[in-house]
């Protein structure tokens, strides 16, 4: 089964990105095909160099863990609006488009939105 997980919220301040990435990783561990699409403030979760307090989750590491066996797409327009470049993103995360999101939506067996 293939899953598309769309995440809109920022990496810190709410737990939607955290929980969406946790679910993505759990599905990957079960052998599922997973694509995560980060849009809006969620794209910042894929920024390299995040420093979080000891014992606090780190969105960068979580995104990287998903890219190991799944796919993480980043809304390019959202990246541009936040001044993010491709060079600043986690290795394996890909700049993407709304057309790619539309295609991933059509191809997925299930779509979950956080």
Domain ranges of the chain: 2-113
Residues 96-106: tens digit of each pLDDT: 999 999 999 99
The residues that bridge with 73 in the sheet, in sequence order, are 37, 94
CA-based end-to-end distance of the chain: 19
Considering just the CA atoms, what is the radius of gyration of the chain in Å? 13
Confidence of residue 60 (pLDDT cuts 50, 70, 90): very high
* CATH code for the structural domain at 2-113: 3.40.1260.10
Q: What is the pLDDT of residues 70-81, one digit of tens each?
A: 999 999 999 999
Q: How many CA atoms lie within 13 A of 24 on its CB side?
A: 32
Look up the pTM and report it. Answer: 0.96
Task: Estimate the crossing angle of helix 16-29 against helix 59-67, to 10 degrees.
Answer: 30
Strands in 110-113's sheet, in edge-to-edge order, are 93-96, 71-75, 33-38, 2-7, 110-113
């Amino acid at each position: 089964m293939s899953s598309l997980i769309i995440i809109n919220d920022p990496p810190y301040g709410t737990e939607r990105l955290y929980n969406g990435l946790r679910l993505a990783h759990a599905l990957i561990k079960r052998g599922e095909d997973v694509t995560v699409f980060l849009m809006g403030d969620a794209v910042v979760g894929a920024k390299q160099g995040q420093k979080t307090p000891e014992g606090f989750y780190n969105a960068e590491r979580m995104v990287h863990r998903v890219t190991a066996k799944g796919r993480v797409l980043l809304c390019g327009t959202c990246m541009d609006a936040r001044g993010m470049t491709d060079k600043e993103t986690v290795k394996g995360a890909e700049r993407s488009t709304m057309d790619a999101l539309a295609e991933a939506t059509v191809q997925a067996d299930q779509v979950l939105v956080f």
